[in-house]
Structure 1
Amino acid sequence: MPDLDAAFMETAARELKSRGIDAWLLYDFRARNPLAAHLVGLPEGQKRRYFVLVEPGREPHALVQKIEVSGWAGWPHRLTSYVGWDEMEAELRGMLDGMASVAMEVSSRDSIPYVDNVPAGVVELVESLGPRVVSSVDLISGTAAQWGARGHETHHEAAEILARTARTAFELAARAAGLSPEVDPGTAGGFDTSGEPTPETEHDLAEWIRARLRAEGLAEADTIVAVGPNAAKPHYEPQAEGSSTLAAGHVFMVDLWGRTADEPEAVFADQTWMGFLGAEPPTDVTAAWDAVVAARDAAVDLIRENPVATGADADRVARQTLIDRGYEDAIFHRTGHGIDRELHGVGPTLDSIEMRDDRRLSAGVGFSVEPGVYLEGRFGHRTEIDVYMREDGPEVTPSRIQYNLWRTTKA
């Protein structure tokens, strides 16, 4: 049943007033604007255009094509129907009467494509009726991207499960390679896998991780397991046929994510951990690892020290750290993405290269910090943590993050 969450309406009104914007005009057509579809409660979209006006101090107002009014059964707010385009434009003109500005999901020059979901023609239409259209990106940070108390709690639960699972995955990889993992007191301990069969390939281990995450109560969980040259492919997906064996002498990468099952407000956790299946990694392996750790920490330090830092600021400092260490040609992606009830959420990203994300990293939002270097044909390193912005600064998860490259000894 379509509706607007009461907490959203309250925070949206507050954000609109603080930014001097008259209203938030949600628009969708066939779920082209997933944010609006989610907020209104019509995630599959509708076959005809609809608008919902959210205005401080007034009841939300939906404008819906007459044939689709039945899909709005139970909508507890004002609803107006239209048949033809001329009637739609006339009704919309009345809704927007006297307004100087309305926020919509647009982004100048597509600088933040996550929220650039309203067609240029719709913007042209709205502006022809009076108000100037401004971007809703900052409103989103204060509303849809907010974790909330339960989201924050579930994120922590998922983060600790991921950390233990990652460590266990490395221990299983070491066992498969005929090695024993060195203890790392700085990170979480693994699960007990005595009596379980030993995965032999990247794909086998990925399947084990998925099963473990489900057993621990996570949903929408998945993983990337990569060894050796495959770790230099950021979005490598090991297949049942042809994935590499878990053999000694290789860099080991595990990237894994998930959220608490059966919790509508659950927030994702997303982590990447690295190891070496051997006792003494080559110097180029340790140098690259030290570089990504330094880049990760530089980004977090900047956010901690600068209360008005943007995602682009954090990306630039992490990227420069890697460049200063000689890895400019090995950087393939941004430093981090927004995280909320979606793995790649609608809040600020740490990005100055793929996008120009100048949104402030404001309280209540969360994101990943995951710098990486990828030496094609050899190996790659990525270290990934998550950050939640508290009122007093960044909070990092999981509770114990990785500083030392995991290593092994002979069995």
Structure 2
Amino acid sequence: MPDLDATFLETASRELKKRGIDAWLLYDFRACNALAADLVGLPEGQKRRYFVLIAPGRTPHALVQKIEVSGWDGWPHRLTSYVGWDEMETELRRMLDGMDSVAMEVSPRDSIPYVDNVPAGVVELVESVGPRVVSSVDLISGTAAQWGARGTELHHRAAEILARTARTAFELAARAAGLSPEADPGTADAFETAGEPTPETEHDLAEWIRARLRAEGLTGADTIVAVGPNAAKPHYEPLAEGSATLAAEQVFMVDLWGRVAGEPEAVFADQTWMGYLGPEPPPDVTEAWDAVVAARDAAVDVIRANPGATGADADRAARDTLAARGYADAIFHRTGHGIDRELHGVGPTLDSIEMRDDRRLVPGVGFSVEPGVYLEGRFGHRTEIDVYMREDGPEVTPSRIQYNLWRAADA
């Protein structure tokens, strides 16, 4: 049943007033605007255009094509139907009468494609009947991207499960390589592995991780396990056929994510951990690892030192750190993505390269910090943590993050 969450309506009204915008105009057609569809409660979309107006002090107002009114049964707010395009435009003009500005999911020059979901023609239509269209990106940061107290609590729970699972995965990989993992008191303890089957390949270990995360109560859970040259492929997928063997003297990477199951407010956690299946990594492996750790910490330091920091600011800090150490040509992706109830959320990203994300990292939003270097044909390193923006600055999860490359010695 379509509806608008009461907390969302309250925060949206507050954000609109704060920014001097008359209303937020949600638009969708065949789920082309996933944000609007989710907010309204019609995630599968509808076959015909609809608008929903949210304005402070006014009842939310939906404008829906008449044949699809039945899909709005139970809508507790105002609803107007139309049949033809001329009637739709007339009703839209009435809906927006007296307004100077409305926010929609647009981004000038497509600089933030995550929220650039309203076609240019629809913007032209709306502006032809009255108000100027402005971007809703800052409204999104203050509403849909907010974690909330419950979401933050559940994120912490997921983060600790991921950290323990990652450490356990490394210990299983070490066992597979005939090695014994060296202790790292700076990171989470592994789960008990007695009786666990020994994986032989990246794919075997990935399957074990997925099963473990589900058993620990996470949903949306998945992983990337990569060793040696495969770790230089940022989105490598270890398939059953052709997956690499977990052998000694290789760089080891595990990227894993998930959220607490059965909790609509649960926020994802997303982490990457690195190890070396041997006692002494070669100097180039150690140097690259030290570089990505420094880049990760540089991004967080910029955010902590500057309350007005943007995602682009943090990305540049990490990127500059890697470039200063000689890895400018080994950076393949942005520094981080927004996180909320979706793994790649609608809030700010840490990006100044793939897109120009100048959204401020405001309290209540969260994101990953995951700089990486990828030396094709040799190895790659990525370290990934998550950050939640509290009123007093960034909070990092999990509780113990990685500074030392995990190692394993002869058994």
**TM-score band, normalised by shorter chain:** over 0.9
Deviation at 1:354, TM superposition (A): 0.2
What is the 5 A alignment of 1:195-210? 195-210=195-210
Q: Distance in 1 between matches of 2:32 and 2:158?
A: 30
Amino acid of the structure 1 residue aligned with 2:18 = S
- The corresponding residue for 2:33 is 33
What is the 5 A alignment of 1:20-59? 20-59=20-59
* Alignment of 1:311 onto 2:316: no
Q: Distance in 2 between matches of 1:192 and 1:279?
A: 22
Deviation at 1:295, TM superposition (A): 0.2
Q: Number of aligned pairs? A: 411
Amino acid of the structure 1 residue aligned with 2:148 = G
Amino acid of the structure 1 residue aligned with 2:361 = L
* Alignment of 1:68 onto 2:68: yes
Q: Distance in 1 between matches of 2:273 and 2:111?
A: 30
- Secondary structure of the 1:272 match is strand
What is the 5 A alignment of 1:282-301? 282-301=282-301
What is the 5 A alignment of 1:329-344? 329-344=329-344
What is the 5 A alignment of 1:71-220? 71-220=71-220
Deviation at 1:77, TM superposition (A): 0.1
What is the 5 A alignment of 1:242-391? 242-391=242-391
Q: Distance in 2 between matches of 1:6 and 1:17?
A: 17
Q: Distance in 1 between matches of 2:164 and 2:17?
A: 44
- Secondary structure of the 2:151 match is helix
1:7-53 CA distance string (max 9 Å, x none): 00000000000000000000000000000000000000000000000
1:323-342 CA distance string (max 9 Å, x none): 00000000000000000000
RMSD: 0.3
Give ranges in structure 2 of 5+ residues lacking alignment.
Answer: none
Q: Distance in 2 between matches of 1:40 and 1:283?
A: 54
Amino acid of the structure 2 residue aligned with 1:77 = H
Deviation at 1:195, TM superposition (A): 1.1
Q: Distance in 2 between matches of 1:338 and 1:286?
A: 29
1:201-248 CA distance string (max 9 Å, x none): 000000000000000000010000000000000000000010000000
Out of 191-200 and 374-383, give the one that drifted further: 191-200
What is the TM-score normalised by the length of structure 1? 1.00
Deviation at 1:151, TM superposition (A): 0.4
Amino acid of the structure 2 residue aligned with 1:10 = E
Deviation at 1:142, TM superposition (A): 0.1
Q: Distance in 2 between matches of 1:109 and 1:198?
A: 51
- Secondary structure of the 1:407 match is strand
Deviation at 1:76, TM superposition (A): 0.2
1:306-347 CA distance string (max 9 Å, x none): 000000000001000000000000000000000000000000
- Secondary structure of the 2:271 match is strand
Deviation at 1:196, TM superposition (A): 1.4
Q: Distance in 2 between matches of 1:54 and 1:196?
A: 54
Amino acid of the structure 2 residue aligned with 1:88 = M
Deviation at 1:193, TM superposition (A): 1.2
Give ranges in structure 1 of 5+ residues lacking alignment.
Answer: none
Deviation at 1:197, TM superposition (A): 1.0
- The corresponding residue for 1:4 is 4
Amino acid of the structure 2 residue aligned with 1:3 = D
Q: Distance in 2 between matches of 1:131 and 1:391?
A: 34
Q: Distance in 2 between matches of 1:286 and 1:247?
A: 19
Deviation at 1:269, TM superposition (A): 0.0
1:101-157 CA distance string (max 9 Å, x none): 000000000000000000000000000011000000000000000001110010000
Q: Distance in 1 between matches of 2:150 and 2:234?
A: 31
1:362-396 CA distance string (max 9 Å, x none): 00000000000000000000000000000000000
Amino acid of the structure 2 residue aligned with 1:268 = F
Q: Distance in 2 between matches of 1:144 and 1:197?
A: 42
Amino acid of the structure 1 residue aligned with 2:52 = V
Q: Distance in 1 between matches of 2:263 and 2:69?
A: 30
Q: Distance in 1 between matches of 2:8 and 2:86?
A: 31
- Secondary structure of the 2:191 match is coil
Deviation at 1:179, TM superposition (A): 0.2
Q: Distance in 2 between matches of 1:195 and 1:214?
A: 18
Identical amino acids, percent of aligned pairs: 88
- The corresponding residue for 1:16 is 16
- Secondary structure of the 2:236 match is coil
1:272-299 CA distance string (max 9 Å, x none): 0000000000000000000000000000
- The corresponding residue for 1:230 is 230
Amino acid of the structure 1 residue aligned with 2:386 = D
Q: Distance in 2 between matches of 1:37 and 1:156?
A: 28
Q: Distance in 1 between matches of 2:77 and 2:305?
A: 44
